[in-house]
Chains A and B, each alone.
Chain A
């Protein structure tokens, strides 16, 4: 019996130790926001079920978002400008895009309901809406007069709606794609950039300008694997070359002649006249390359312009011209993307969540950012009214018009020469595309790095695409 009572002593010793450590840990930091599981140190964890119930109060919402600069800004502004006015506490979790997608999918699909608001992209919005994972926002939209839903750009609304036509995510900021070029280098070479260049012209310029100064590449293009990295620009090239991933009745076209021609063109262009390390270049690397003056042209997101024109980040600010996305067979070819606020079905604080969304996507927030942080940092590209603000016009003089037009021109329902089965310019709006696009992009990226050929990559891609298409053919 001695042993048993001694054993109990050990347990109580552990409990005591745990309690002390807990108090020490908590008093050490003393952040009021961390109301975690304080004071619940009565027992060792295995038998402890009660502490999980210390849920945030009714006026606290949890927001999961990507770590993009615009989200960082809102995190900084929320407490002073949102919580102070509404009394709603907002807790943020920031994760990189891939992890965020994994987390949200799992959270919503298993009905865990850990988040009240999440940032999602134009790719997820229609899919998740049709899965019944997101709250229909159209009712809130209609009631909230201050929000002014009619001000939202139509292509944005289209790409964030479900197949029932209702809006399921409120845009935070949007973008299309365009071609950026160095005015000084073009002058030096005696070249002139048309307002609507073709890809053939761009290839000629790239050949001419490659190495015009030491270390300057003719063009900078993404090559980093990922459906949202390499395949964002590449799919727009495929579109305008007349290719597509799938026909309207779900026939895979990945090894089709147009798809192949476009991919070969892209790979050759970046291999011959592209930047160093192209196969590992995503948006960030390209921004860095271009901003440091190491490329004469760059085809990428319109949202890049704000950084390119920021002298703190860019050595080419003021020297850059902006023209529409290069084309071949189509009239326009820019992509369409938005980061948007959505409310999972599982949220229990929908009213507070909408209040936050309405604030974050509203006109007043744009003005707030403009005045507090500078007009170049406004989360733009979603509202027609943004382009009418004089301060914004001044700050974004070089690119605001073309950005707005490019977004308006983008047609998520018919981006190529043939009808499409889903909504989306630079992606196919089916869940399998994330896996499919990423796998094919890995092989195309390998071709950019000089390992393997485009034919091989696309032959493999066709097989995988065909397997996906089978699920959708009736």
Chain B
């Protein structure tokens, strides 16, 4: 707040100081504000990580004990409960469904942008409209169908469902990215008689690669985080990490520290992936709209 007031005062008397100083001061105020916002938004995450490093008794105190001794006990407990299969299942469900989404979405996006089918807008709308339907309404029939197919508690079931959930968004994103491919090159390729795969691989892919990465990342995040279907369609073999997470809630004892440890651990892959590719994420979320 002090910084802001100073900046304003600087603006009131422009003649007293060179204008750059005022601008710079205001800039500094904005910088401070940005840091405060970052701190506020990150605080819950930081608190989660800190709590996960405390003992249960220290985790549930009032006022909070910030400086309680740190311990890795909670993480040891997680591996004692065998978190690995859950992480593997999550990884399989999200990676495989992401690949499948891309495999379906890229050719489809091609048919909606570069060599569009007739009435491509209607097709586009159909895809998007499936994304707006409440997934919960599909839980019961999907459960019954999956049970009839003897596919309960099977990672492939989740792969298929997550593919369907993410396909519309992926298609939309991919379409936006494919639009950026220069027309002249495409036309040249067409004249040379290149087939779809050749065109996709040698002309489209290099231009659209950042878009593919961004799309893949978004699909990965949403699949990794899905809880409702995971908890209802799996049992002991195909359960994913969100299911592991809720297993720490108990009505008979303290669980905050270990819950935070589990929450940290299961969020980590997405956090790392997201942080590592955040520039592409920015681009990806804008769906390549307007340059």
Verify whether A and B have any Cβ pair under 8 Å. yes
Query: CA A2 – CA B189 in complex, angstroms?
Result: 14
Contacts of B239 in A (CB 8 A): 93
A25 contact from B92, B200, B232, B246, Cβ within 8 A: B92
Contacts of B152 in A (CB 8 A): 52, 112, 114
Q: Are B88 and A313 in contact (CB under 8 A)?
A: no
Query: CA A62 – CA B157 in complex, angstroms?
Result: 19
A33 contact from B80, B82, B91, B250, Cβ within 8 A: B82
Q: Mark B128-156, 1 if CB is under 8 A from A, else 0.
A: 00000000000000011001011111111
User: Count of A-B contacts with CB under 8 A?
Assistant: 178
Query: CA A76 – CA B76 in complex, angstroms?
Result: 13
**Known pairs A9-B197, A91-B237, A288-B60 / 14 extra A-B pairs, C-beta < 8 Å:** A7-B107, A13-B103, A18-B99, A25-B92, A29-B84, A36-B154, A44-B100, A45-B163, A53-B150, A64-B235, A69-B252, A72-B81, A94-B247, A313-B254
Q: Does A467 contact B (CB under 8 A)?
A: no
B235 contact from A28, A35, A114, A283, Cβ within 8 A: A114
A96-B250, A312-B57 known; A37+B155 contact, CB < 8 A: yes
B254 contact from A53, A106, A288, Cβ within 8 A: A288
Interface residues of B (CB under 8 A from A): 56-57, 60-61, 80-82, 84-85, 87-89, 91-92, 95-96, 99-100, 103, 107, 143-144, 147, 149-157, 159-160, 163, 195-198, 200, 231-232, 235-239, 243, 246-255
Highest count of chain B CB atoms <10 Å: which of A25, A35, A46, A62 = A25
B196 contact from A3, A66, A313, Cβ within 8 A: A3
Contacts of B61 in A (CB 8 A): 292
Contacts of A301 in B (CB 8 A): 252
Q: Are B88 and A307 in contact (CB under 8 A)?
A: no
Q: Does A397 contact B (CB under 8 A)?
A: no
Query: CA A29 – CA B86 in complex, angstroms?
Result: 10
Contacts of A21 in B (CB 8 A): 92, 95-96, 99
Q: Are A29 and B153 in contact (CB under 8 A)?
A: no
B236 contact from A31, A91, A112, A312, Cβ within 8 A: A91
B153 to chain A, nearest CB (A): 6
Contacts of A33 in B (CB 8 A): 82, 85
A18-B100, A21-B96, A37-B154 known; A45+B82 contact, CB < 8 A: no
Query: CA A313 – CA B95 in complex, angstroms?
Result: 41
B251 contact from A18, A26, A76, A284, Cβ within 8 A: A284
Interface residues of A (CB under 8 A from B): 2-3, 5-7, 9-11, 13-14, 17-18, 21-22, 25-26, 28-29, 31, 33-37, 40, 44-46, 48-49, 51-53, 56, 62-64, 66-69, 72, 75-76, 91-97, 99, 103, 106-107, 110, 112, 114-115, 228-229, 282-284, 287-288, 292, 301, 303, 307, 312-313
Q: Are A52 and B247 in contact (CB under 8 A)?
A: no
Contacts of A99 in B (CB 8 A): 231, 246
A34-B85, A52-B149, A92-B236 known; A68+B100 contact, CB < 8 A: no
Contacts of A228 in B (CB 8 A): 251
Write the chain A residue with the least CB distance to B92. A25
Query: CA A119 – CA B251 in complex, angstroms?
Result: 14
Q: Are B235 and A96 in contact (CB under 8 A)?
A: no
B251 to chain A, nearest CB (A): 5
A62 to chain B, nearest CB (A): 4
B124 to chain A, nearest CB (A): 21
Q: Are A112 and B237 in contact (CB under 8 A)?
A: no
Contacts of B252 in A (CB 8 A): 68-69, 283-284, 301, 303
Query: CA A21 – CA B251 in complex, angstroms?
Result: 39
Write the chain A residue with the least CB distance to B248. A67
Write the chain B residue with the least CB distance to A1. B195
Q: Are B236 and A28 in contact (CB under 8 A)?
A: no
Q: Are A6 and B196 in contact (CB under 8 A)?
A: yes
Query: CA A199 – CA B100 in complex, angstroms?
Result: 64
A94-B247, A96-B250 known; A36+B56 contact, CB < 8 A: no
B246 contact from A7, A11, A95, Cβ within 8 A: A95
Contacts of B87 in A (CB 8 A): 29
Q: Are A110 and B85 in contact (CB under 8 A)?
A: no
Query: CA A30 – CA B151 in complex, angstroms?
Result: 23
Q: Are B85 and A51 in contact (CB under 8 A)?
A: no
Q: Are A282 and B251 in contact (CB under 8 A)?
A: yes
